[in-house]
Amino acid sequence: MLLDSGMLIAYYNRRDEWHQVAVGLLDAEEILLLPAPVIPEVDYLLGRRMGLPAQMALYEDIGSQVYQVVELSEPGYQRVLELNRQYQSLRLGFVDAAVIAIAEELGIGRIATLDRRHFGAVESKIGLELLP
């Protein structure tokens, strides 16, 4: 299962309305794939919303391999451009398009996300399963 930013923020933020759902979902999975482009976004948002302790928890989990970090390939950067052109009205942005590109490259359709605006609009066209 690939992880999107919102799901990780909910996981680390006990005050988030989605926290319990995120904990249940992520803790039930054996393999959690963390797209590398998601990391800076999550780091920034955790820092703004919760501060350094939340950021440090993320770093510890990455360092202890709770997540398998997956990189965007060179062709993936072209796919990010294509997706943003194809879905201009959605304004996907780099991170969401990169998550989709990585999902396509790896043949993994399961994405843990709270972002139904972006991922929901492409879900059926690309063959994604959005969780929860």
Has residue 15 got a pLDDT over 90? yes
pLDDT at 79: 97
Number of separate domains in the chain: 1
CATH code for the domain in which residue 105 is found: 3.40.50.1010
DSSP state for residue 90 in the 8-state scheme: G
| Contact yes or no for 96/34 (Cβ under 8 A) | no
DSSP for 18-78?
THHHHHHHHHH-S--EEETTHHHHHHHHHHHHT-HHHHHHHHHHHHTTSSEEEPPPHHHHH
Domain that holds residue 25: 2-131
Query: What's the pTM?
Result: 0.93
Beta strands 68-70 and 2-3, pairing class: unpaired
Residue 128 has a pLDDT of 87
Q: CB neighbours of 26 closer than 8 A, spacing ≥ 6?
A: 3, 7, 11, 32, 112
Can you tell me which residue has the tokens 């703004």? 48
Q: Is the pLDDT of residue 58 over 90?
A: yes
Task: Tell me the pLDDT of the chain averaged across its residues.
Answer: 96
Q: Are 2 and 110 in contact (CB under 8 A)?
A: yes
